[in-house]
């Protein structure tokens, strides 16, 4: 085989190899905010690949304007395995069309979450925080390709002692308390009293 043909074949082989290697590659992390003490965390995505990545945004944590999560996106557990109670919002159904997030090569995306706005956390306790479902992504070169799933490494956090903003853990709820009913006066008819609901108590604590 003469030299020009060998050089041409080598160039074609290197080009095919580069195309095969170049791809989107997503790195997902759960990071502490404020040095790891407190309930604020950050989910960070970085596309460390050579091509743009398309991320399934429907599976990413979504806080509302008040900081409450729009679904139970995290598994927050004590060292004994007991799971913290979720008190945020629950979606009735998944969106008909999934939200897609495009990340260019080298691009980043992050969202901060205050866990104590959506989970009952005890002051002074340590928790293991994990994403309930892995982050799904695929290369923008393959819009019909299979999704690749990346589970971030869980993060350990410690709640401060006596944090006034913490929704404290509690035992099973009993019957809602009632306001004392005043004695009826003759001729005045029935006296209406208001029954306090669980939602009232939560508003009072928030």
Please give, one letter per residue, the 3-state secondary structure of 100-120.
Answer: EEEECCCCEEEEEEEHHHCEC
pLDDT confidence of residue 7: 40
Each residue's pLDDT, cut to its tens digit, for the chain (206 residues) gives 554 444 443 443 444 444 446 799 999 999 999 766 689 999 999 999 999 999 999 889 999 999 999 999 999 999 999 999 999 998 876 566 678 899 999 999 999 999 999 999 999 999 999 999 999 999 988 777 889 999 999 999 999 886 555 555 444 443 333 333 344 343 333 322 233 333 333 444 44
Q: How many residues are given for the chain?
A: 206
pLDDT confidence of residue 176: 34
Stated pTM of the model: 0.67
pLDDT confidence of residue 198: 38
Residue with tokens 């030299």: 3
Q: Note the pLDDT tens digit of each residue in 133-146.
A: 999 999 988 777 88
Q: Nearest CA to 159 among 134, 126, 132, 131?
A: 126
pLDDT confidence of residue 141: 82
Percent of the chain whose pLDDT exceeds 90: 51
Buried (b) or exposed (e) across 44-65, using 16+ Cβ within 10 A? bbbbebeebbbbbbbbbbbbee
Q: Please calculate the CA angle 83-79-114 and round it to the nearest 5 degrees.
A: 55
DSSP H or E segment with residue 50: none
pLDDT confidence of residue 172: 40
């Amino acid at each position: 085989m003469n030299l020009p043909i060998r050089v041409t074949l080598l160039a074609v082989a290197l080009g095919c190899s580069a195309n095969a290697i170049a791809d989107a590659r997503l790195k997902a992390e759960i990071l502490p905010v404020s040095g790891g003490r407190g309930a604020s965390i950050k989910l960070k995505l970085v596309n460390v690949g050579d091509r743009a990545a398309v991320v399934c945004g429907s599976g990413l944590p979504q806080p509302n304007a008040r900081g409450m999560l729009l679904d139970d996106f995290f598994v927050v557990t004590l060292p004994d395995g007991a799971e913290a109670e979720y008190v945020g919002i629950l979606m009735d159904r998944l969106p008909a069309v999934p939200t897609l997030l495009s990340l260019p090569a080298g691009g980043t995306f992050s969202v901060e979450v205050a866990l104590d706005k959506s989970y009952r956390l005890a002051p002074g306790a340590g928790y293991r925080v994990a994403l309930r479902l892995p982050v799904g992504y695929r290369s923008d070169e393959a819009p019909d390709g299979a999704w690749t799933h990346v589970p971030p490494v869980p993060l350990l956090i410690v709640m401060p002692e006596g944090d006034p903003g913490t929704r404290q853990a509690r035992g099973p709820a009993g019957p809602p308390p009632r306001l004392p009913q005043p004695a009826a006066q003759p001729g005045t008819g029935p006296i209406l009293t208001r029954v306090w609901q669980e939602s009232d108590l939560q508003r009072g604590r928030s």
